[in-house]
């Protein structure tokens, strides 16, 4: 499960615009950052995606991705043209197909590689979708099949795209928008696939064309209800409405770190069903995902700045800056399905799982330290008057280094804090099994 939002410059402060996403996946599904160069490709070359091959195009753009370690596609990312995209799982009355094909994360990467504007990215996805459809397992550890929605942005404009099998509907964003694990487009849209309305009318999901409401006609109420997608989306939309005209980078960080939707998440071991924008997994079929990566794009007058965690749990992570023109610094080896000692994601995950033993108290200890480090990173940018590619790369590298240097210090600090909190037995057993599965030394 995930949450994605966009804010156009007309609704933000200082003429900036923003994209933000939390990627929620299985708790051991490590996510990593990768930057791939622009490339020219030979005629008739085939491209291998997660499960199938499709024809490659003659040129692909430079891209930055935050992606689960095992798949070709990505949960969120950006390209050199300033296009950014995030996708969401949506559950509908039309059952998602299971045979190996293109999955939503493949479409996201394909659109970034092949599109130089938000509108072109929208058209890239819909054209490929009508040709190939969407199908395949979206989880490494168990069966998870779903259709997809997308928020697509390029700094000047943004679009919502919601899809079901080969069908789709799209709407241009006005001011701001948020999506979660629920269909959001209702009776107003800007473009639509030719068969979407007729499909619903034929199955009596709506009376006729004049009564068509997309989300009402197609939503699977059971999965949508238990994922609390509508509640999470409404929570983010309300926050943006309340702060319209005042939205800046820190606000977008706090949205992704939000636990205010459900106070029970202050003690994530005390609930089996409580969801939030910043997710921490728990046992059972309802809340078995956690936020495994976070991504914010800040569109200012200069180059877009991509603020990334490269780690799980944004409430316990540092947002570090990356620029497409200066490259991705060396952040260590790509994570695998088991604990990797030098991997950024797994190093941070040790800290995250230590905090979960007494979440409220340990988070309170670490929060001012995280805030101090992020202010130091901000100061690195402010202090540089000549922001060329070299200095940007140095700032990115320094930001990642500063965080890594603190992991053991933070870990030692919370382990030496007295705690009388005891996790619920089912929660403790759940995380012990997850740790054993990947050989994490917690």
State whether residue 275 is helix, strand or coil: coil
Token duo for residue 265: 């998440």
Query: Per the residue annotation, which of 2, 81, 138, 315 is the catalytic one?
Result: 2
CA atoms 313, 318, 323, 327: torsion sign: negative
Choose among 42, 163, 57: nearest CA to 116.
57
**pLDDT (tens place) for every residue of the chain, 442 residues total:** 789 999 999 999 999 999 999 999 999 999 999 999 999 999 999 999 999 999 999 999 999 999 999 999 999 999 999 999 999 999 999 999 999 999 999 999 999 999 999 999 999 999 999 999 999 999 998 899 999 999 999 999 999 999 999 999 999 999 999 999 999 999 999 999 999 999 999 999 999 999 999 999 999 988 778 778 899 999 999 999 999 999 999 999 999 999 877 655 567 887 777 788 999 998 877 788 999 999 999 999 889 999 999 999 999 999 999 999 999 999 999 998 899 989 999 999 999 999 999 999 999 999 999 999 999 999 998 877 678 999 999 999 999 999 999 999 999 999 888 888 899 899 999 999 999 999 998 6
Token duo for residue 288: 């078995």
Token duo for residue 351: 């800290």
- Predicted pLDDT of residue 384: 72
Q: What are all long-range contacts of 405-414, with beta carbons under 8 Å and residues at least 24 apart?
A: 406/369, 406/373, 407/347, 407/348, 407/350, 407/351, 410/351, 410/366, 410/369, 411/350, 411/351, 411/354, 413/365, 413/366, 413/369, 414/354, 414/355, 414/358, 414/362, 414/365, 414/366
- Predicted pLDDT of residue 265: 57
Residues paired with residue 48 on neighbouring β-strands, in sequence order: 53
Q: Are 402 and 373 in contact (CB under 8 A)?
A: yes
How is 70-81 classified by DSSP, letter by letter? T-SS-SEEEETT
- Predicted pLDDT of residue 284: 75
Domains (range + CATH), the chain: 2-326 (3.60.60.10)
Contacting residues for 372 by C-beta, under 8 A, at least 6 apart: none
Q: What are all long-range contacts of 432-438, with beta carbons under 8 Å and residues at least 24 apart?
A: 434/27, 434/28, 435/353, 437/28, 438/28, 438/337, 438/338, 438/339
Angle at 321 between CA 393 and CA 73, to 5 degrees: 100
How far is residue 215's CA from residue 404's CA, in Å, rounded to a whole number? Answer: 44
- Per the annotation, the verdict on 138 as an active-site residue is no
Dihedral pair phi/psi, residue 330, rounded to 5° = -70, 110
Contacting residues for 141 by C-beta, under 8 A, at least 6 apart: 26, 28, 29
pTM: 0.96
Contacting residues for 381 by C-beta, under 8 A, at least 6 apart: 321, 387, 395
Q: Classify residue 411 by its DSSP letter.
A: H
Distances in Å between the Cα of 166 and the Cα atoms of 55, 193, 421 are 19, 9, 50
Using CA atoms of 237, 32, 149, 102 in order, give the dihedral in degrees to the nearest 10: 180
State whether residue 213 is helix, strand or coil: coil
């Amino acid at each position: 499960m995930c949450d994605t939002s966009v804010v156009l410059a007309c609704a933000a402060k200082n003429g900036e615009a923003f994209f933000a996403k939390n990627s929620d996946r299985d708790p051991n599904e490590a996510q990593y950052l990768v930057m791939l160069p622009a490339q020219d490709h030979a005629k008739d070359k085939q491209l291998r995606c997660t499960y199938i091959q499709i024809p490659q195009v003659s040129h692909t753009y430079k891209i930055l991705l935050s992606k689960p370690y095992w798949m070709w596609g990505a949960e969120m990312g950006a390209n050199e043209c300033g296009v950014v995209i995030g996708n969401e799982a949506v559950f509908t009355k039309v059952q998602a197909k299971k045979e190996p094909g293109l999955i939503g994360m493949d479409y996201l990467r394909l659109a970034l590689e092949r599109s130089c504007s938000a509108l072109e990215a929208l058209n890239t996805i819909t054209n490929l979708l009508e040709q190939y459809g969407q199908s395949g397992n979206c989880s490494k550890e168990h069966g998870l099949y779903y259709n997809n929605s997308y928020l697509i942005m390029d700094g000047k404009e943004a679009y919502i795209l919601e899809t079901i099998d080969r069908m789709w509907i799209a709407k241009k964003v006005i001011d701001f928008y948020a999506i979660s694990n629920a269909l959001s487009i209702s009776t107003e849209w800007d473009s639509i696939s030719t068969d979407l309305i007729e499909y619903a009318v034929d199955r009596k999901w709506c009376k006729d064309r004049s009564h068509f409401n997309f989300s009402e006609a197609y939503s699977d109420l059971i999965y949508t209800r238990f994922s609390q997608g509508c509640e999470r989306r409404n929570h983010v939309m309300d926050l943006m409405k309340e702060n319209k005209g005042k939205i800046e980078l820190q606000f977008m960080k706090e949205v992704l770190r939000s636990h205010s939707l459900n106070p029970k998440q202050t003690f994530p071991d005390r609930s089996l069903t409580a969801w939030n924008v910043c997710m921490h997994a728990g046992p059972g079929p309802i809340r078995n995902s956690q936020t495994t990566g976070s991504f914010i794009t800040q569109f200012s007058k200069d180059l877009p700045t991509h603020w990334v965690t490269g780690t799980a749990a944004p409430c316990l992570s540092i947002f570090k800056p990356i620029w497409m023109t200066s490259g991705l610094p060396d952040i260590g080896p790509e994570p695998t399905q088991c604990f990797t000692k030098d991997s950024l994601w797994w190093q941070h995950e040790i800290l995250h799982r230590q905090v979960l033993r007494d979440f409220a108290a340990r988070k309170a200890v670490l929060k001012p330290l995280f805030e101090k480090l992020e202010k130091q990173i901000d100061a690195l940018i402010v202090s540089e008057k000549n922001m060329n590619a070299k200095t940007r790369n140095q700032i990115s590298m320094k930001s990642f280094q500063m965080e890594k240097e603190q992991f053991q210090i933070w870990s030692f600090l919370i382990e030496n804090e007295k705690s009388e909190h005891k996790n619920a037995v089912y929660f403790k057993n759940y995380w012990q099994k997850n740790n054993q599965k990947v050989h994490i030394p917690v």
